[in-house]
Structure 1
């Protein structure tokens, strides 16, 4: 634990699954400063790797700030930097950073990156390509937008993530049922992320040859792309991410790189990694879907590190600490990294049979599904039973790549025995 009068690095969201490499990055960037995280439960598998933890609900800014102030009183230690790792932590990080006067993105930037309507407006005003869109709170307002924007369209909550409540609607007769499902998906979270549950966004559906994310490091006026990630989605009308791979087949797309860096500048992101998502149409046009002022999830940062030898978490923490961002002019790929998620059939998991051996290309396997768990319909990130991470040394990205998805599907079919729900 920190000694009296010490400072420490505080990681918000560092205990979340598939973000474990944040600790290695933080230790390198901070040059030995104690590194703490927040957790509202001592049952977390990862908090024991940090130098300590503060007991608080990471999504509740007032609660988090009060907990950090109690920690200061008890240990005479204050944060040198407060680092948000996902969308649900940026407002808490802002509250603590403002109180302790540490480096942070502005309140305006945080709000613009959390509220998808504000985000789209800022990007549109900057002349950047976004889908046609509009806000709604009622079914009648959604019906008006459907006429204005046209079908198909996509509806989503304005402040959630992980594909929760994101649904494509192709027929006007389906608007009401899709809206009701969107609401039900939000309610199923039980208010866990302290986000508004009654404001929504409708936007033009963009047919995509490929969906990508772009990982951008920001420090003041510096906005530089570190990597481009190919994203793989499950079947529509949902937009569940079933896998990712780095490098992307679009890594050399100069227009994509330019748009990602300009979007970060337009939103005023001055610190840390940003996670930019876009769809690329069959004609090659790019439409920005969203930009998060935080690191990408789903172990994307780990994929970047395996392929390029650069830990994005280290860059992220260094930026908030005001340390120099040291990146070579050009990053050479060492091979193809990928992740794919394990999905059991819908029903009640009766047994889980782990494989006796796994091929060398699988560098990590995490199985979260266990007997008596309910395997849900895959409508968001919550309906997963684990993950497989891959690395192929010297392999280049290729169009149509899906080997990681096929392998994960085969593993899941052999691992999980499921019975129907009553």
Structure 2
């Protein structure tokens, strides 16, 4: 029986069948990286500055070179630290960083360096560019950018099946206004009555830098300037925020630390409260999923998650570097191992299983709870340190590093700025650490 379909429709159907067969036979999705080892007799370049990491390299007798800002050269010379000063140009497009890194690569190659390890957030793309040059594989740089560009990062996580909030990229205030309205419309909330907040974030800044919470349309005009664009816009995720410090070798999580953010931006505790610790198996599964989705063979990652009241785990973001907030020091206190040494071992692709044997403790065998409280100046001018009378008498008080800065005028900074010292607490019970980490948020430690 003859078909009544037009010939052109039959043609489209045949083409569609051919296209489907093509999609079924070709590989789609992320391209796998070829994780090559470094030259065993060459040096490691530490990109950034960390005395604890330098001490770890010295202890393990691994040949190295520190690449950091010229400000650190005098200290390095005094303490016989192999050092190369370098001005890391800021606010460069990523493709320009890759080109600029070639000159640094040539210098390092002459100095017998064959691998780069980033320390700070702003050095991740530089280390990625250097390793791309060392291995003659530009995709290693693209891979590093995944951990710096929050939009790319979210998209990769979403493609890989991690739970994320709604997000878009914004270029103008009108983009934010449209996003704010759409999110609240989907939640059946009226923007003029009880809107849900949305978050505006810089693509490549750490911590709270560039982060604005938009609670109303009026906030869009009041809180945002041209400096906030382009940006990542994302819906609000409710719940307890945690970070993880995952040491990776051979594409598998070797050790997982969970840090509870007691007061975001100010205080954190290791290990977390018992109710969060109970979720360790599920959290570990999500972290391993990040390792798989982002094709990570070795190193350390610092992902952040939101734990909702029903136990759902939402991905926030992930960094490929040492965490801030003195988290490594808290781990050292409660787990009794040296995370700085473990970081170097995991970041070195030549590390053997024998070298890692016995490095990590049992994740469940911790010795009490340790917390850090970051102290920020609350005014532009300070004349001295104002330590509460009851602080050092607190049963959980461990130590503090509060100091008076060399100048009284505090420079205007993005986000929370730089903390001027830290207060450390320790106790066998988590509640006895969380309580002071919360109590001192409103205290002004500087006069």
Q: TM-score range by the shorter chain?
A: 0.7 to 0.9
Aligned residue for 1:99, secondary structure, equals helix
1:10-25 matches, cutoff 5 A: 10-15=45-50, 20-25=51-56
Which of 335, 343, 367 is the aligned partner of 2:376? 343
Q: Does 1:233 align with 2:263?
A: yes
Structure-2 change in CA distance of 1:13 and 1:267 (3 Å)? same
What is the distance in 2 between the residues matched to 1:408 and 1:45? 36
Computing the radius of gyration from Cα coordinates, the structure with the larger value is 2
Which of 60, 64, 67 is the aligned partner of 1:38? 67
Q: Does 1:106 align with 2:140?
A: yes
Q: Which residue of 2 aligns with 1:147?
A: 181
Aligned residue for 1:274, secondary structure, equals strand
What is the distance in 2 between the residues matched to 1:271 and 1:369? 38
Say whether the 8 Å CA contact 1:57–1:63 is kept in structure 2.
no
Q: Does 1:177 align with 2:203?
A: no
How far is the alpha carbon of 1:89 from its aligned partner?
0.9
RMSD (Å) for aligned C-alpha atoms: 3.2
Greater per-residue strand proportion: 1
Aligned residue for 2:181, secondary structure, equals helix
Aligned residue for 1:351, secondary structure, equals coil
Structure-2 change in CA distance of 1:400 and 1:51 (3 Å)? closer
Structure-2 change in CA distance of 1:144 and 1:44 (3 Å)? farther
What is the distance in 2 between the residues matched to 1:228 and 1:46? 34
Structure-2 change in CA distance of 1:233 and 1:408 (3 Å)? closer
How far is the alpha carbon of 1:160 from its aligned partner?
1.2
Larger RCO (alpha carbons 8 Å, 6+ apart): 1
Say whether the 8 Å CA contact 1:54–1:68 is kept in structure 2.
no
How far is the alpha carbon of 1:61 from its aligned partner?
5.2
What is the distance in 1 between the residues matched to 2:363 and 2:257? 11
Provide the TM-score with structure 2 as the length reference: 0.75
Provide the TM-score with structure 1 as the length reference: 0.79
Structure-2 change in CA distance of 1:51 and 1:63 (3 Å)? farther
Q: Which residue of 1 aligns with 2:3?
A: none
Structure-2 change in CA distance of 1:172 and 1:204 (3 Å)? same
Q: Does 1:165 align with 2:210?
A: yes
Q: Which residue of 2 aligns with 1:262?
A: 289
Which of 354, 365, 386 is the aligned partner of 2:401? 365
What is the distance in 1 between the residues matched to 2:255 and 2:41? 34
Which of 383, 406, 410 is the aligned partner of 2:439? 406
Deviations 1:204-256, CA, capped at 9 Å, x for gaps: 11122x2100111122321244210011335xxxxxx1011100122331222
Say whether the 8 Å CA contact 1:273–1:312 is kept in structure 2.
no
How far is the alpha carbon of 1:10 from its aligned partner?
1.4
Structure-2 change in CA distance of 1:288 and 1:272 (3 Å)? same
Say whether the 8 Å CA contact 1:301–1:313 is kept in structure 2.
yes
Q: Does 1:251 align with 2:277?
A: yes
Structure-2 change in CA distance of 1:344 and 1:112 (3 Å)? closer
What is the distance in 2 between the residues matched to 1:385 and 1:223? 34
Structure-2 change in CA distance of 1:337 and 1:157 (3 Å)? same
Aligned residue for 1:232, secondary structure, equals strand
Q: Does 1:53 align with 2:86?
A: no
What is the distance in 2 between the residues matched to 1:403 and 1:166? 26
What is the distance in 2 between the residues matched to 1:347 and 1:105? 44
Structure-2 change in CA distance of 1:343 and 1:87 (3 Å)? closer
Structure-2 change in CA distance of 1:39 and 1:376 (3 Å)? same
How far is the alpha carbon of 1:54 from its aligned partner?
0.9
Q: Which residue of 2 aligns with 1:308?
A: 335
How many residue pairs get aligned? The number is 377
Say whether the 8 Å CA contact 1:247–1:307 is kept in structure 2.
yes
332-341 vs 80-89, which deviates more? 80-89
Structure 2 residues not aligned, in runs of 5+ = 1-39, 90-96, 185-195
Aligned residue for 2:366, secondary structure, equals coil
What is the distance in 2 between the residues matched to 1:127 and 1:170? 29
Aligned residue for 2:278, secondary structure, equals coil
How far is the alpha carbon of 1:371 from its aligned partner?
4.3
Q: Which residue of 2 aligns with 1:200?
A: 231
Aligned residue for 1:218, secondary structure, equals strand
Structure-2 change in CA distance of 1:106 and 1:368 (3 Å)? farther
Which of 80, 83, 91 is the aligned partner of 2:117? 83
What is the distance in 1 between the residues matched to 2:56 and 2:259? 20
Aligned residue for 1:349, secondary structure, equals coil
What is the distance in 1 between the residues matched to 2:137 and 2:80? 22
Q: Does 1:217 align with 2:247?
A: yes
Aligned residue for 1:164, secondary structure, equals coil
Q: Which residue of 1 aligns with 2:164?
A: 130
How far is the alpha carbon of 1:66 from its aligned partner?
2.2
How far is the alpha carbon of 1:32 from its aligned partner?
0.7
Q: Which residue of 1 aligns with 2:44?
A: 9
Aligned residue for 1:283, secondary structure, equals coil
Structure-2 change in CA distance of 1:42 and 1:171 (3 Å)? closer
Aligned residue for 2:306, secondary structure, equals strand
Which of 336, 347, 350 is the aligned partner of 1:320? 347
